[in-house]
Every structure is written in structure tokens, then in C-alpha cells.
Amino acid sequence: MKVVIVGGVAGGASADARIRRLDEDASIIIFERSGFISYANCGLPYYVGGVIRNKDELTLQTPESFKMRFNIDVRVRHEVISVNTHTKTVTVHNIDTDKTFEESYDKLVLAPGARPTVPDLPGIDNNRIFTLRSVEDTFKIKEFIERIHPRKAVVIGGGFIGLESAENLLSSGVEVTLIEYADHVLAQLDFDMACFVHSAVIKNGISLRLGTAVTGFTSRGSNVVVNTSDGSSVEADMVLLAVGVTPDTALAAKAGLKLGAKGSISVNEMMETSAADVYAVGDAVEITNFVTGLSSLVPLAGPANKQGRIAADNICGGHSVYKGAQGSSIIKVFDMTAAVTGLNENAAKRAGIPYEKIVISPLSHASYYPGGTVMTIKALYDRQNGKLIGAQIVGFDGVDKRIDVLATAIRAGMKITDLIDLDLAYAPPYSSAKDPVNMTGYVAENVLTGKVKQFHYDQLDVLPRDGSVFLMDTRTHGEYLRGHAEGFINIPVDDLRERIGEIPKGKPVYVMCQSGLRSYLACRILSQRGYDCYNFSGGYRFYDAVMKGRIQANHAYPCGMESDR
């Protein structure tokens, strides 16, 4: 059996190594148009910033190591320019010799990945505008920084690559402005959760401009001027374009393969395309969202590696299926961590899922053990069946392990209340006896069983201030004086029983505290005395972060806002 693989990064490299483990006699050829294979896409920004110092650490394998260990013929700087599915041949262009030849196959794996999205804007061809997708891109940016010593940079796009690049450029001594078209960074997060990230970005000295469209580029001397839709401009020594990726499927389209969303390659659960003996994996393919069952694109390394393995199993006579992805992802933003799995609110709405949400702010470990930090957990569940459908966490320590537990719970089809029963490891330096994941289940159970009713930050503005409802803040007087929501009257929870006569009966009572715990206790006291009480989900800490985020979404900030610890 002769297998040809087009693309030698995550999906392609995973497929070829697996094929060799299953079939020692197979003839395997990889064609990779860049000069590198099996490289760490996710590590590229950290080489720019000097966190990864040795460029050799970016490449997990080389053509020579693949040949030695797996007996695989790897040909870099070879671009496959056409596929003939009838004759089962590919046409290959050797970039170094400029010669073209044909190669036959019995099985073909397409793993072309995705290319950086480059909008058609005036001045986009300026040689000081960079993208970051390949090892060559990384070396080009690094060489530019070491040679030119830029003072100012503009990063366009607030996704994973944009944020990581902005942080690493800043650590290289470059003043950074980050421009994002949407009203918040990290589209995987909801606006409210992204507000914590905004504060971290601003606190560390990056000028953040949200809700701003770039309209084009001009030159001023050797510098690039970034022009925006509000009529302003930013001048910089360099620009990094990070506005997303587009499935690189021109080859598949030319071959007549069936395409899906955004021109992606349509595959079945065995990673087979519409052509016999042709498979496709990685960022270029359309897959199924595990939670919704709908078609989607998930350009992440984890799914690409899994898909490569599944394609290899099926090529070698097995029967493996890909069950979809839920988009679990995580990012370091300076000393903060943001993570997500499953659906956010926008995705749940698009899928037509009737959902409820809870927001909690637990400590990363036992409160009496030094060094605990606050994390914010937002969980979404299906109101009809109680299943957990999504989670977002922003914080410092322990975010990674909690998001992985919640990702596993979604994959297992667990109800949000099932989180209560998870037997999770506990010791004071690592967790609490009721882990934040358990607490997520407890809070949801209180809502589902009617022990507490809740309201959310996006309902605060529409609450009447005409006396028809009673708004109460149960924090201490000192906390209240340091900041409170408009119209909320301060009655500390410890004084509530003595001052309950100040709360009029017959009116709904909306209660807030710092994290949601004291206001929950107040609601339990009041509801057992006949009051119609609503607890604010997330607490004043969450409310304050979102209000700051609203301001940040409409203004440019160079620095100065603090993130909670």
C-alpha cells in the first residue's frame, strides 16, 4: 500500500506516524510546502517573545528523524498543486528546483491546514505587515525585531494568536496597540467573561481598542499607519495581522471534492472525503460540534491530531470514527488564564438550545491556606434536560484542571447537578473540600430546585428604580462605600434579621453581594419569610468587571486597570 500525505504538521504528522505503527510495509510519502514538518504552531508567538529561545525546539521532528524512526519519505518545500482522483495521482511542484512531477497513491490524506486570513484592504502589501502561522513567519518576525528594534507595534485581532503575540511583543520591549473589530477579545468567551481579560491586557500596558475596524494602511517614512473606521489612525514600526484563519482548500476544490462551511472539506465520521480513498484531516475540514450536532470548524491542534489518527486507522483496515469536537481551549494572558469548553451563550442561541447560566467566583484552593486566588466560572446548561453544555473560566491558579473536568463532564453527557457527586482530589494547597467544580453543581441545584431565583448583569439596567422593586446590597458598609450598583440599598447580611422590617413586603427583592454567597444566604432568609427574592449571579465583583468592560469596549486605554486577585 502506498500512502501520500499532503501536509506534515499536526494532522498529517499524526496520520503518517500512526500508519507506520499499524503497517510496517506501507510506502508513505509526505509532501510539505514549507521547510518544516511537525512543528509547534502554538509555540510560535513564544519564540518571538524569547520565552522559547532555541528555534530548534519549535520543530518536534525533522525529515531526517522521520526517516530514521518511521521509515517515512518526507519531502519539504514540495507543494502538491493538483489531485486527480480518477487516476489516483498528485502533481507536485519542487519549490527548490522549480520542477513538476506526478506521484501515484493508493490512499491519499489531505492535511493542508488553514492560512491566515488577509483582508483586501488598501496598503495590505506593506512589507512591515506580518502574519504568524508558520515557522518561516516566526523567523521573519524575530529577525525583523532583532534588526530594526521596533518601538511600536499594532496587533490586529484579539484571538489566541493576537493576544499571545501582543504579550510577547510587549515582553520584547515593543509598545503594543491591540485593535479588535468586535466588542470583546476571544470570541470563544462571552462578553462578560472577556471583560476580565480586557483588564489584564490593559493593566500590563497594552493599548486596547475594541469595536474598531481597520480600513487600510498607508506609509509614513518607513512606518505603517493603521487607519480605522472612527477616523483615527495609529502609527507603528510594524503590524501583525491576526484576524483569523481560512481553510486552505483550493487543492480540494480543484479536485472536485465536496466542500462544506467556509469552503472547508466535507468529510464523514471516518474522515473520508467525497472521493474514494481520499481522506482529509485538520484545520481544513468541516466537523461536527459534539454538543449541538451541527457542522462547524474547529481549527485546533487537539482535534487535528485525533483526526489524523482516525484516518490512519481506517486506511489500515480498522474502523475508527471521529465523534466531534467541543472546542476546549485555553490561553495564558500574562499571569491570567482564560479557558472555555462547549458552547457560549451566542452559540447556544444559534443552536436554538434553551439554556440557563450560573456564575460563581470561588477561590482556587482552601481559603485558610496562603496564596489562593479568585477564579470566575460561568456554566451553561440545557433548561430542558439539565445537561451541562458549556463552561468558561477566567482566573489564575487551577483554571486548567477545572476546565478539563468540565470538558470531560460535557463529553460524558452529565447533567450540571452531577458535578456535585464528582469525587475530586482535595488538599488545602490545591483545592477546597467542595471543589469549584462541585460548587458549580451545588449552585445549579439550588436554582433548578427553586431554592433560589437569580438575575444576571444584563438585567440590571432594566430593573425599575421607581420603588416598585427593592434593591439590596448585603456586603459590609465599607465594601458598599468602595462601589455599588445604582439604586441598591446597603443592608449587611449579618444585620438582615434585625433590619428585615425595612424591606417592604409585596415587592420583588433583588439582592447583591461581592461573590453571590451572602446574597444567597439573604435570599434564603427572605424567601422563608414570604419575600419574592432574586440573587445576583456572580456578585458585585463580576458586575464591576463587566461595567469596566463596557467602558473599555468604547474607549482606548493605554494602561492602569487592575484585575482581581
Extended strands (E) in 355-513: 355-360, 376-382, 388-395, 453-455, 470-473, 489-490, 509-512
Label residues 36-45 b or e (16+ Cβ within 10 Å = b): bbbbbbebbb
Distance CA 215, CA 231 (A): 9
H or E, element range at 29: strand 27-32
Distance CA 210, CA 213 (A): 9
Write out the three cell numbers for 334.
500574562
Whether 541 contacts 374, CB under 8 Å: yes
Write out the three cell numbers for 193.
467573561
pLDDT for 300 equals 83
Distance CA 495, CA 475 (A): 10
Tell me which residues are annotated as active site. 42
- Rounded to 10 degrees, the C-alpha dihedral 28/29/35/36 comes to -20
Whether 40 contacts 19, CB under 8 Å: no
The strand pair at 223-228 and 233-236 is best described as antiparallel
Distance CA 544, CA 157 (A): 25
Distance CA 238, CA 137 (A): 14
pLDDT for 561 equals 37
Q: Count how many residues are written for the chain.
A: 565
Helices and strands of the chain, counted as H and E runs: 16, 31
- Intervals of the chain under pLDDT 70: 39-41, 59-60, 549-565
Radius of gyration of the chain (CA): 27
Could you tell me where the DSSP H helices lie in 228-385?
250-254, 301-315, 345-350
Q: What are the distances in angstroms from CA 229 to CA 117, 179, 180, 238?
A: 19, 11, 12, 20
Secondary structure of residue 373 in the 3-state scheme: coil
Other C-beta atoms lying within 10 Å of the C-beta of residue 85: 18
Reported as a single tens digit per residue, the pLDDT across 223-238 is 999 999 988 999 999 9
Quickly tell me which residue has 509598545 as its cell. Answer: 175
The residue among 291, 422, 404 whose CA lies nearest residue 348 is 291
Distance CA 334, CA 176 (A): 14
Distance CA 476, CA 483 (A): 11
